[in-house]
Amino acid sequence: MQQKIYPRSKDKETVYLQNVITNPNIIVGDYTIYNDFVREPRDFEKNNVLYQYPVNKDKLIIGKFCSIACGAKFIFNSANHTLSSLSTYPFPIFFEEWGLDVRNITKAWDNKGNIVIGNDVWIGYEAVILSGVTIGDGAIIGTRAVVTKDVPPYTIVGGVPAQTIRKRFSQDTIDTLLKIKWWDWSKERITQHISEIQSGNIEHLI
């Protein structure tokens, strides 16, 4: 993919996310876009990826052709004050104050794992994705939804916490889409089949 930042020359609110990321623990696929009409969209990793402390080594992995709306947040493990302690106070973070071993700092939170977003996922305005969640290919996350558990492919979810609203297509169509993986095609092949992709003419994609 080209290294340009803006998909549209006169639109400075939408960026190709891959080309504005510097954090090695944030991995973004080709053509995924982020739109922000409130803040600078190039500051995505500072404003939208929260509590991703390097000491924890957790990752945000986003696939190709995703659409991420303004204000969407990805909240990582370090926000999860541990529930295995008698106190939720993060003593290990303040190791200097309490004479604790700095090597135990990650015991201050419960580690639920990476956040993994599939391909062709649409994440709505101000949605929140929590640590440990995997969102399948083709899923849609509703406006201001709070996603606390995995979302299957091509499933629409919404609410707090997010619940399944419906599947986007029949299971046969979903299985076919997951098999052909059009997002992995070359740009030239995608260009040839854009009309079929947009019109839902899956028979011509097989």
User: Catalytic residue numbers?
Assistant: 81
As a whole number of angstroms, the distance between CA 94 and CA 84 comes to 18
Q: What one-character DSSP code corresponds to residue 174?
A: H
Classify residue 187 as exposed, middle or buried by CB count within 10 Å of its CB (0-12, 13-18, 19+): exposed
* 168 within 8 A of 155, measured Cβ to Cβ: yes
